[in-house]
Structure 1
Amino acid sequence: MTAHTPSTSDNGTPGPRSSVHPVIAEVTRQLTERSADTRAAYLARIREAVGQGPARTSLGCANLAHGFAACGVGDKLSLAGDVTPNLAIVSAYNDMLSAHQPLETYPAVIKKAVGEAGGVAQFAGGVPAMCDGITQGRAGMELSLFSRDVIAMSAAVALSHDMFDGALMLGVCDKIVPGLLIGALSFGHLPTAFVPAGPMRSGLPNKEKARVRQQFAEGKVNRRELLQAESAAYHSPGTCTFYGTANSNQMLMEVMGLHLPGASFEQPGTPLREALTAEAGRRVLGLTALTEHHTPVGEQIDEKAIVNAVVALLATGGSSNHTLHLVAIARAAGIQLTWDDFAALSEAVPLLTRMYPNGAADVNRFHEVGGMAFLIGTLLDAGLLHEDVRTVAGPGLDRYRKVPRLTEDGELVWVDGLAESADKTVLRPAGDPFAPDGGLRMLEGNLGRAVIKVSAVAPERHVVEAPAKVFADQAELQTAFAAGELTGDFVAVVRFQGPRANGMPELHKLTPPLAVLQDRGQKVALVTDGRMSGASGKVPAAIHVSPEAEAGGPLARVRDGDVIRLDAVRGTLEVLADLGDREEARPTVDSSAGTGRELFAALRGAVGPAESGAGVFGH
């Protein structure tokens, strides 16, 4: 099987072009200026590594022999010389998680394609992959955010043998892709492609699943009926089909040029999916320092690529988790992205998609009606993306207007995508958006700074002013709900859920009870220094409050009855009380041990604030 990768000459006629929007240009300018010193230091480091060449060419004989001892005779002969490129495969495969189960067969596909193209590919290492869907509401969720940094370190261990000229990263879900990219950027002199698995086939509609969850919270259906609904929604290999963090990851990898064009949402188990996997290996082979098209990932992920990522996140109403992950990714490349950049870009970027939880459609429907090719094309035409970036498909983001297809002869080619959205209830052009601004907004006030996702929140609920009800964790709120104690209007304050306190777990179990109360006519909102799921929905939630309560943030001094005003229109988060003379509360729930949490004490002690990406590196 051969592939015809789009190039400048065969890219077809692009749509009408616009100069870069002035807000996009100004945010990029400020970001570049702010990052000048750290970016320069990062580039100097990776350029020095490029100059040193593949270390295996200077490895001692015993070192090198260890490096290819398990290879076949042909690969040993190739790696003993200094001209055959060797690619690392780093994978998050495990067969428990539906999104990662398809990755089991990818290394063999990649090795075969790379070998036929004149290179060698070795499985360099595996990284852990946990599922937030399984750990929601459990102690294991308190390891989730830190797993991102563990994955980054694991990827670095895999690449540390200095045997490689390029890398392929196999991963899909929430913390896995950001962790793999942070790890790859620590070896930024290597060209790197990300290889997705694709979404599972559509099952029970996500809106129906959410309805059954809410009915269970109200006691209207039993556990057996709830499990039937959940199993009909999550039913086969592939990524969950709602537009949460996992699928936001895939969208971001494509708009940053780390996927091949159109690769993000092709379902697993298809001939096209296998062809794209094989071609990813061939493409990286053509981007190594041994070629004239050398494209190190650390050069590729520059300020323009980071701005493109934020724009696409806003335009799609993507996961709020990426206000943490993109900041951490950018810092790994020496780029000082801030929440203020998100806020500034949000004012200029329209909302172009409606996918659950922001609409009824899933990612399969988005892919069918135009998908990434249409989204990128319309954002480019509106001047909302930088076109002049480097990608694994070659220079220029225009290439991502194309979609992959297989010819009758099995050749992989890229053809023009849809000129118009096939369903404007799901995907719209930039000139006819669902909303004039992005789905994420920043809040600031005397309670600190926070993030709110408003794309799924009804406009009449964008402002909530009500007395606080303070909880130590989400279990305490659920208990109060079950006891019928959550009456009247209120703002739920769930504190000591930040990274220093307990690893900043997602609090997705809060969504059903709060949604029930909201549907009963109560005005409710959530304020927390924890996270919500990438699938957080219709209840207004000020999340990632920074500084967190454990770090002495104002949340630690809020008491029951204090009036809190959450105003997503003005971008403010305020308590209408004087907190100055109050003592700080302390956590009443012990998260220091059990389910492996004792092993993560050092990370809780080293982690930075949410605004800096909630990571343990370089904050």
Structure 2
Amino acid sequence: MSVNAKLLEVTERIKKRSAKSRAAYLAACEDNMRDGPRRRRLSEGNLAHATAACPILEKTELLGAKWANIGIVTAYNDMLSAHQPFENFPSIIKHAARRNGATAQVAGGVPAMCDGVTQGQDGMELSLFSRDVIAYSTAIALSHDMFDAAIHLGVCDKIVPGLMIGALRYGYLPQIFAPAGPMPSGITNPEKARVRQQFAAGEVGRDVLLKAEAASYHAPGTCTFYGTANSNQMLMEIMGMQLPGSSFVHPNTPLRDALTAQTTRRATQITALGEDFTPACRVIDEKAIVNGLVGLMATGGSTNLTIHMAAIAGAAGIKINWDDFADISHIVPLICRIYPNGVADVNHFHAAGGMAYLIRELLSAGLLHNDVTTVAGGEGLSEYTREPIKNAHAEADTVIFRNGPTESLDKEILTTVKEPFRPDGGLALLKGNMGRCVMKVSAVKRDKWFVEAPAIVIDNQNDLIAMHKAGELERDFVAVLRFQGPRANGMPELHKLTPILGLQQDKGFAVALVTDGRMSGASGKVPAAIHMHPEALLGGAIARVRSGDMVRLDPLNGTVEVLDVDLSTRDVATMPKAQNLSTLGMNMFAPMRAQAGDSEAGASVLGDPDWMSE
């Protein structure tokens, strides 16, 4: 099947826009490539420091032989359920490396905060910036020049994007991701959401709410809804940065451990000392980025990736914007239903055919680029139509890849391009006199898309919660929550508002949210125009809206606007003094807030290297 003409057009547009920066990036990567073990250029003193704590076999090989050395960059901590399984991964990797004629060392650790723990709390204002801290930390881990490839251990919201940004800045090295997998299914996600709304309505107490939450988040592994963490895993696979079929295998299972060992084996093969040198700069190119955007649209992925993908692409010298997202959304149908776009979770998605079926279906419709380089090698992205099984008749870490399903095993979860759940993707770009923003429409019922109602302007999400408790939200309204952008307070997620807004919507009121902040990757049934820029703190028009203004959201026509008002004639509101910047280390992040870019450009604080300048 030839590639869709519009997809080719978007890809060529990105290539043209990125020509100078991409060429300079590739040139910088080529300049840093070297044959043989990279540690050869280190002094004897450098090597002695780097090997002092190694077991004798590893020390011997590192000091004198030609074995490749694999760096492990880990986001392990045992508070995050998705990252707790990584405790044992370095041991698995080191043993697998030795069996395959290589060594492995933990190069460094990166922070990994949980948005589920900080949701609605002060710590959420550090969440987005943690991505760039992780990128910095990844760069520090790889800066020793001891490593011929790197294996990255990370799953969740900001961790994978941060690792990717750091990895791509070392794009001359092969890089590969080893995921941990999702936890087993607990109570259904719709049931969890129902209890949350009951609590918001005062119908149940905290004991019932806690019981439901604990039954949902109950074991090691990724949360099972299709939020940012699982969107990350889909992206790493469809962009060729981890092995086929590795995204959604449960942790602490024989197949998961075998996949981790197989990832190590593959890492040794794609070093400059192996037979298939595959540096990251050749994996992540314009076609791989477009494939990632297609995957987001086809699955109804997290809105957080509208920010992170720009930052990831930028780290490889590639420039994308929300017009690219929107144009791809117009041609890529929604063929997955995973909560919040449906009732199934990622385990059901995996059982119904998972990534192998998804990629096969999109390739067959000409909606993906097959001619890409991946860490799996072989025949481009078509290698990812296969799925792994453990070889029970060979050594412990052997994985066999077989052809994945050619038909969906549950058409309520995975369907075909010809008979999609929606004819277009899950994202809309909105523009108007308030600015530019995005809206996830895949989980919003069509009759709830269009909202025209008076604004309730607030500067803190807790203000809306107080209004709800006071009974002041029993009406149609558009909550305009401003001063939530990157420069203002780090662009926190505002998922805390979801139960209240969903409750009022269920009562029959027309409700929506407009904000320069973020919603959770699990944002769902309530229309939410988010990531608005220019943000309020920088004088964006959202800072000129007043309570009572009539606001219209119209994702079908791609508009968000205040009606019958010339906003340019109004004064810009002043951000109220924050009360929490001295707590939880918040004041340490003032320099990051001061230099953060806008959300469409990735909201990054890293700054552009020389090769990104025109």
Q: What TM-score bracket applies, with the shorter chain setting the length?
A: over 0.9
Which of 513, 522, 543 aligns to 1:535? It is 522
- Superposed CA offset, 1:291-348 (max 9, x none): 2311001121000000000000000000000000000000000000111100111110
Match status 1:339 vs 2:322: yes
Q: CA deviation at 1:593?
A: 2.4
1:428 paired residue number: 415
Judge conservation of contact 2:35–2:273 (CA < 8 Å) in 1.
Answer: no
Match status 1:228 vs 2:215: no
1:389 paired residue number: 372
1:467 alignment partner, SS class: strand
Q: Which moved further from structure 2: 372-381 or 60-69?
A: 60-69
Judge conservation of contact 1:57–1:82 (CA < 8 Å) in 2.
Answer: no
For 1:87 and 1:188, the matched residues in 2 are separated by 15
Which of 250, 256, 271 aligns to 1:288? It is 271
2:503 paired residue number: 516
1:7 paired residue number: none
1:361 paired residue number: 344
Match status 1:83 vs 2:54: no
Which one-letter code corresponds to 2:386 in the other structure?
K
Match status 1:593 vs 2:582: yes
Q: Which moved further from structure 2: 302-311 or 573-582?
A: 573-582
For 2:152 and 2:3, the matched residues in 1 are separated by 31
Judge conservation of contact 2:36–2:66 (CA < 8 Å) in 1.
Answer: no
- Superposed CA offset, 1:544-564 (max 9, x none): 001100111001111001111
Judge conservation of contact 2:501–2:511 (CA < 8 Å) in 1.
Answer: yes
1:176 paired residue number: 159
1:159 paired residue number: 142
Which one-letter code corresponds to 2:441 in the other structure?
V
Q: CA deviation at 1:53?
A: 6.1
How many corresponding residue pairs? 602
2:532 paired residue number: 545
- Superposed CA offset, 1:16-64 (max 9, x none): xx10000110000000011000001110111101047654202111111
Q: After superposition, where does 1:387-536 map in structure 2 within 5 Å? A: 387-395=370-378, 396-410=380-394, 411-536=398-523
Judge conservation of contact 2:433–2:567 (CA < 8 Å) in 1.
Answer: no
1:560 paired residue number: 547
For 1:82 and 1:27, the matched residues in 2 are separated by 47
Q: CA deviation at 1:487?
A: 2.7
Q: Percent identity of the aligned residues?
A: 60
Which one-letter code corresponds to 1:409 in the other structure?
H
- Superposed CA offset, 1:156-180 (max 9, x none): 1000000000000000000000000
Which one-letter code corresponds to 1:325 in the other structure?
H
Q: Which moved further from structure 2: 411-420 or 535-544?
A: 411-420
Match status 1:115 vs 2:98: yes
1:611 paired residue number: 600
> What RMSD over aligned residues (CA atoms) do the two structures have, in Å?
1.0
Which one-letter code corresponds to 2:590 in the other structure?
A
- Superposed CA offset, 1:466-495 (max 9, x none): 110001111111111111011321110000
Which one-letter code corresponds to 1:550 in the other structure?
L
For 1:527 and 1:52, the matched residues in 2 are separated by 53
For 2:108 and 2:391, the matched residues in 1 are separated by 34
1:390 alignment partner, SS class: coil
Gap regions ≥5 residues in structure 2: 609-614
TM-score by length of 1: 0.96
For 1:261 and 1:298, the matched residues in 2 are separated by 19
Q: Which moved further from structure 2: 230-239 or 47-56?
A: 47-56
Q: CA deviation at 1:290?
A: 1.6
For 1:115 and 1:330, the matched residues in 2 are separated by 34
1:36 paired residue number: 19
2:226 paired residue number: 243
1:584 paired residue number: 572
For 2:134 and 2:444, the matched residues in 1 are separated by 33
Which one-letter code corresponds to 2:571 in the other structure?
E
For 2:392 and 2:115, the matched residues in 1 are separated by 41
Which of 262, 279, 283 aligns to 2:262? It is 279
1:50 alignment partner, SS class: coil
Q: CA deviation at 1:408?
A: 3.1
Q: CA deviation at 1:392?
A: 1.0
Judge conservation of contact 1:607–1:616 (CA < 8 Å) in 2.
Answer: yes
